[in-house]
Structure 1
Amino acid sequence: MSKNLSSNVATQDLNHQTIIVHKKGKLSFSTKLSYGFGDFASQLLWSFSGSYLTIFYTDVVGITPALVALIMLIARIWDGINDPMLGFLADRTKSKHGRFRPYILYGTPFLALFSVLAFTAPGFGGNMEAKVAWAMFTYIGLGMLYTIVNLPYGSLAAVMSKDSGERTALSSFRMLFTNLGSVLLSVISMPLILLFSSGTGDQITARGYTMTAIVLAVIAIPLFYLVFFKCKEVVQPIHNKKISIKESFRAVLTSRSLTCIFFILLISLTAFFGRMGVQIYYYMYVIKRMDLIAVFMPLPAIGAAIGIMLFTRFAKNFGKKNMLYVSYTLAALSLIFLYFVDYNNIPLLIISTFIFGLTQFGIPIVMAMIPDAIDEMEDKNDVRVDGTAYAATSLSTKFASAIGGAGTVALLGVFGYVANAEQTAEAMNGINIVVNIAPAILFLLAIIPTKLYGLTEEKAAEIRQRLDEK
């Protein structure tokens, strides 16, 4: 059954329970730009915690690496319950703003608040149990609120346009601004921390972290609201029958393509987040150049931004899988090389770190696979659950952040790391292994689920055509 709606054409298929509104022309540049700003804002909040919260806990609050690892693992266990439920809820949300945008509107202020609270260090009279409890409360709260805002934000890419090319463009803009946000974060974070610490030399205080978190939150809030106002939902599902939680989860869990994407993201981002969370230890205790942290920290993100602009375009001609093979193989080789570079050879360390960043063009390619997998799921099961599907991939990102963060900080303890002290030769080599060799191995392992992913560009186009015809 079809019906003309002014300049739009709506195609309704009761079997697929979906209305798709086809707009004339493509998404505007300003819309894509606004969408990209959403992940720029996310980096200022979530990646700041990913880069600095571990060292804040160990070196400022005084929590042991083992307890930090436990906090992160508990938070991710809770995410295993929280994230799918939010996705299920978002799929069934009905409002004048759509299914996903209301969460960005109302969740942003609370996300900003907890991004600051996570970097506060109440004394509690020296009671370590109270400090750990506060860290767990604020970190779990931060993770939940990040899901409330970022999961709907990610889901927008699948409903802002039905065109595969436009979806890929949205993913590219998102990942480009992800890395631009990381660049800004890397450049300004440590100088701001030192500035607000009100100390001399390399002295860092809790106040330095707290005030920096406030500055980043103030920048992030209007960027999230720009996404809310500019990014509209075009693909809208209408359910003629109630879809249960069981049906939603079955559709997602039985999707081979989504399962492969889950493990691709889990493994590759565990490598990425794990390295990101401990690289500062490498610069502080191995290279021993606090003055160069603002140089080293943004290099991977700068390289990734350039790599995305240069290499993601080839996915159309050579295929997404082939480009992922290239990305992960080169990433592993660059890190193995970096492990053997002499600690005092600063120019070669800088060049090698930048080259590693160039290899990170695979992330937007994986993200562009998700809408195709959602279309495949709808074609097969007559159910479209964008939020639940994105919850699964969001969960993989959360797990990767936790495993990478907890695993690497636990390994530091195994290798003999001692906070605020001169490290032994064994500890320094251990830090080098954790920062370079461990993620290199994971990048190579990410090739396995990539190989198992079977949804080619041709097959995705055929599915999209069938859905459009129905």
Structure 2
Amino acid sequence: MDNGATSLTAPPATRPESEAPTSSAVRWRYALLNLGLVIPAQLSSFLLLYYVDHLRLDPVKFAALMSAFAVYNAVDNPLIGHLSDRTRSRWGRRLPYLWLATLPAMLGLALMFNAPFSGERPAELLLYFAATWLLWETASTMLGTAYLGLLPEMFRSFAERSDVAVRMNAVQVVGLLLGLAFPPLLAARLGWGAVGAGLALLCAALVYGNLRPLFERPQANAAPLMPLLALLRLTFTNRSFLTVVAAQTMRFLATGVLASGMGFYVKYSLDEPGGAVTSLLLATAFVTAGLCLWPWHRFVAQPYGARTTLLAAFAVSGLAVVPLLWVGSVAGAVLTTVLFGAGLSGMILMGDVIMADVIDEAELRSGQRQEGAYYGLSGLIITLSGGVTAVLFGWVSHRYGYDPSLAAQPETVAQGFRLFMSVPPLVGAALAFVLLWFYPLRGERLRAMRRELAARRAASERSS
């Protein structure tokens, strides 16, 4: 039957037929591949610092362009996810995209940090950035959608998914260090161009080096797929999906603001030049997040589930940023980032796990597994947080007098970046807490969904 599917080729992968749990080695290889995706995503947080503070591009123009990019990103996410679901090949739906999109994604990453123009030629610089960003973003969306689409398909139980989540996020903390904490320090010594090119090569090796053990289950390709418009209608009437995605958007707003604003906060609010303090603060947050993964998993996630874990994590992270409004020392900022890292740990641990539950519930409703479309549609909403971050930065920089062409900034700039670093993450955490409080897929409803889905899969295997 022709469903308008796309045909691709890629190296083959094993395809286990049963629901038996995956091996520890496969779980680790899946998690390690995440390192090659996390580093570029985090390194992109420094585009604002690189193009505005380093190359002296007008911050309002840059913010306007990034806001336009957020709209593009919101459109390409569901389209690429739907394309991934409809791809048919002997190697599956997701794996071909991981093989084919890695090189263009890493090439785009390297080029973005090797701009041949400065802010003295703003039109050429903006055009160059737009072209390289589009290459990087489109290919990266293919990678991220394909990778996350494998999570609910390869790992079927909550225990298995939560175990994989611990490994993924332990690896992710390393990626946060390499992609966020170290680049300012390395750039001060080597330059942003060398940092971008070197990390792009490292990430390509990490993706290709861990692809071989990944697999797709054959039954995931069996049923005809729902048309995109019908899927959109079904998805955007799904309260569980909308609640999770809105809460995740608030998480990415908080981390995006902190990552993109930390260099400005350190330089202008703490009056600490250079990248060493920025690296210290970001490293503190992410090392703390890594150390807290096991306690969150053992003492909160296992006994209370994903929703309660996320509620507690958002509460901690929201309260943690409040002191940034008045902290005036590096020591005080370090304590603040420790608290934020503790909250961030719970958020990153359960984010993908709770989305996998939503996808399972959607399978019961429609009879189809369309992980790519769901992760793509979540990306449509979540990536708008990047546009919000850019707009907020543009407003703050204009309102409080920041001008990268000035040798010395006005005193108001310090307060502006304090507000930028604290108010949006606090508001975002509060909104996420309220949304998750009313999350419907919990308690007996969640347990009944898991029982019904397990019975349906067992019956499908017996009949095949």
TM-score of the two chains, using structure 2 as the length reference: 0.89
Q: Supply the distance in 1 between the matched residues of 2:290 and 2:92 (Cα, whole angstroms).
A: 31
Q: Given the alignment of the two structures, is residue 35 of structure 1 paired with residue 20 of structure 2, yes or no?
A: no
Residue 202 of structure 1 corresponds to none
Q: Post-superposition shift, 1:402?
A: 3.0
Q: RMSD over aligned Cα, in angstroms?
A: 2.1
Q: Post-superposition shift, 1:49?
A: 1.1
Q: Is the 8 A contact 2:114 2:196 kept in 1?
A: no
Give the letter for the 2:135 counterpart: G
- Structure 1, residues 230-289: CA drift from partner, whole Å, max 9, x if none? 222236424444532222222322221111111011122111111211111011222222
Q: Which runs of 5+ in 2 are unaligned?
A: 1-14, 457-464
Residue 251 of structure 2 corresponds to 268
Q: Supply the distance in 2 between the matched residues of 1:457 and 1:39 (Cα, whole angstroms).
A: 30
Q: Supply the distance in 1 between the matched residues of 2:133 and 2:399 (Cα, whole angstroms).
A: 24
Residue 325 of structure 1 corresponds to 311
Q: Is the 8 A contact 2:119 2:125 kept in 1?
A: no
Give the letter for the 1:350 counterpart: V
Label 1:156 to 1:125 Cα distance change in 2 as closer, same or farther (>3 A): closer
Q: Supply the distance in 2 between the matched residues of 1:409 and 1:181 (Cα, whole angstroms).
A: 28
Q: Post-superposition shift, 1:309?
A: 2.1
Residue 439 of structure 1 corresponds to 425
Give the letter for the 2:437 counterpart: K
Q: Is the 8 A contact 1:45 1:217 kept in 2?
A: yes
Of the structure 1 ranges 304-313 and 100-109, higher mean CA displacement relative to structure 2 is found in 304-313
Q: Is the 8 A contact 1:183 1:299 kept in 2?
A: no
Q: Post-superposition shift, 1:126?
A: 4.7
- Structure 1, residues 429-464: CA drift from partner, whole Å, max 9, x if none? 111111123211211111122122110154333223
Give the total of aligned pairs: 437
Q: Post-superposition shift, 1:219?
A: 0.9
Q: Is the 8 A contact 2:77 2:380 kept in 1?
A: yes
Q: Supply the distance in 2 between the matched residues of 1:226 and 1:248 (Cα, whole angstroms).
A: 34
Q: Given the alignment of the two structures, is residue 225 of structure 1 paired with residue 208 of structure 2, yes or no?
A: yes
Q: Is the 8 A contact 2:243 2:436 kept in 1?
A: yes
Residue 459 of structure 1 corresponds to 445
Q: Post-superposition shift, 1:145?
A: 1.3
Q: Is the 8 A contact 1:151 1:390 kept in 2?
A: yes
Q: Supply the distance in 1 between the matched residues of 2:334 and 2:312 (Cα, whole angstroms).
A: 22
Where does 1:416-435 land on structure 2 (aligned, <5 Å)? 416-419=401-404, 421-435=407-421
Residue 356 of structure 1 corresponds to 340
Q: Supply the distance in 2 between the matched residues of 1:61 and 1:349 (Cα, whole angstroms).
A: 27
- Structure 1, residues 91-140: CA drift from partner, whole Å, max 9, x if none? 11122321101111010011000001111222389532122111122222
Give the letter for the 2:290 counterpart: A
Of the structure 1 ranges 77-86 and 292-301, higher mean CA displacement relative to structure 2 is found in 292-301
Where does 1:365-384 land on structure 2 (aligned, <5 Å)? 365-384=350-369
Give the letter for the 1:400 counterpart: S
Q: Post-superposition shift, 1:185?
A: 3.0
- Structure 1, residues 159-182: CA drift from partner, whole Å, max 9, x if none? 102212112222332222222211
Task: State the percentage of identical aligned residues.
Answer: 19
- Structure 1, residues 356-397: CA drift from partner, whole Å, max 9, x if none? 111111232122111111111111222321110111222333
Label 1:432 to 1:140 Cα distance change in 2 as closer, same or farther (>3 A): same
* Structure 1: 4+ residue segments shifted above 4 A: none
Give the letter for the 2:271 counterpart: K
Residue 22 of structure 1 corresponds to 18
Residue 78 of structure 1 corresponds to 72
Residue 140 of structure 2 corresponds to 146
Residue 11 of structure 1 corresponds to none
Residue 234 of structure 1 corresponds to 217
Residue 204 of structure 1 corresponds to none
Q: Post-superposition shift, 1:223?
A: 1.2
Q: Post-superposition shift, 1:325?
A: 2.0
Q: Supply the distance in 2 between the matched residues of 1:61 and 1:137 (Cα, whole angstroms).
A: 17
Q: Supply the distance in 1 between the matched residues of 2:118 and 2:420 (Cα, whole angstroms).
A: 33
Q: Post-superposition shift, 1:84?
A: 0.7
- For residue 99 of structure 1, give the secondary structure of its aligned residue in structure 2: coil
Residue 243 of structure 1 corresponds to 226
Q: Given the alignment of the two structures, is residue 347 of structure 1 paired with residue 331 of structure 2, yes or no?
A: yes
Aligned match for 1:400, one of 385, 391, 394: 385
Aligned match for 2:108, one of 96, 111, 114: 114
Q: Which runs of 5+ in 1 are unaligned?
A: 1-18, 197-207
Q: Post-superposition shift, 1:215?
A: 0.6
Label 1:458 to 1:177 Cα distance change in 2 as closer, same or farther (>3 A): farther
